[in-house]
Amino acid sequence: MAPSRIAQTALYQEVAERLRQRIFAHQIPPGTRIDEQGLAIDYGISRTPLREALKVLAAEGLVTLRPRRGCFVTEISEQDLDEILPLMAMLEGRCALEATGRAQAAEIARLEAIHRQLERFAENNQIERFFEANQEFHSQIQLMAGNRWLRQVIQDLRKVLKLTRLLSLSIDGRLEQSLIEHRVILDAIKAGDAVAAQTAMHDHILSVRRALVRSISQHEVPA
């Protein structure tokens, strides 16, 4: 039996990544209908790889396929937050616990450096840059934990949460509060107190939930 041919890297994967980044940047805002024909023309491709890319993003929860209506960027509701963020709090809390038990001096120094960036961005009210450094802070803790399965689940959920990008940090006083919460997490890890780090991370994620609910209610537009 002749071996089957191995295809080159699928075009739809590159298309999915381009769309993913545009969605994360809110260049295609939540609730927006995906213009398949327009995108196919812009990218110089047929609609087949585009549709395959949209299936990938649908599996990640970033878009929603509606029969006979088309494809829309997913909108995160309060119910979604109620379902996602307690789970995130549990997972990231566990991640902080494991990271504390395995932390090396160089890794802690890296985490401190990221926190100094957070302080600088908060002081200058640079919300966009604070957001990116915040992602890096959490990613560093995930790397320190050394649990690839835990990291993968967290990253999958964080993709969905990126649909709420910057909203919670736009609430008055949230930037400063977030900075304080990160400091508590950092101090617990430095002290080698795994339980305190777990609790601090858990509480931090749930405080994000409260801020996001407030933000979403402020940004709601009547139908």
C-beta of residue 103 within 8 angstroms of C-beta of residue 180: no
In tens, the pLDDT along 90-134 reads 999 999 999 999 999 999 999 999 999 999 999 998 988 998 999
Confidence class of residue 56 from pLDDT cuts 50, 70 and 90?
very high
In tens, the pLDDT along 75-91 reads 888 888 889 899 999 99
Assess whether 180 and 165 both reside in one domain: yes
What's the confidence (pLDDT) of residue 218?
52
Q: Identify the domain containing residue 40 by its residue range.
A: 11-73
In tens, the pLDDT along 150-172 reads 999 999 898 888 887 655 656 66
- Measured over the CA atoms of residue 184, residue 190, residue 193 and residue 197, the dihedral's sign is positive
What's the confidence (pLDDT) of residue 164?
74
CATH of the domain at 89: 1.20.120.530
Is pLDDT above 80 for 41? yes
**What are the φ and ψ backbone dihedral angles of 64, each rounded to 5 degrees?**
-125, 125
Residue with the bigger pLDDT between 219 and 146: it is: 146
Assess whether 43 and 92 both reside in one domain: no
Residue with the bigger pLDDT between 67 and 151: it is: 151
Assess whether 61 and 149 both reside in one domain: no
Predicted structure pTM score: 0.78
From the CA atom positions of the chain, what is the Rg in Å? 20
Total structural domains in the chain? 2
Q: Which of 41, 73, 105 is the last residue of a domain?
A: 73
Assess whether 208 and 113 both reside in one domain: yes
What's the confidence (pLDDT) of residue 220?
44
Confidence class of residue 221 from pLDDT cuts 50, 70 and 90?
very low
Q: Which of 24, 53, 73 is the last residue of a domain?
A: 73
Assess whether 118 and 98 both reside in one domain: yes
Any residues with CB less than 8 A from the CB of 175 and at least 6 apart, and which?
A: 122, 125, 127, 130, 169
Q: What tokens appear for 200 in the block?
A: 């601090």
How far CA 4 is from CA of 1, 91, 112, 220, in Å, comes to: 9, 41, 51, 52
What's the confidence (pLDDT) of residue 170?
60
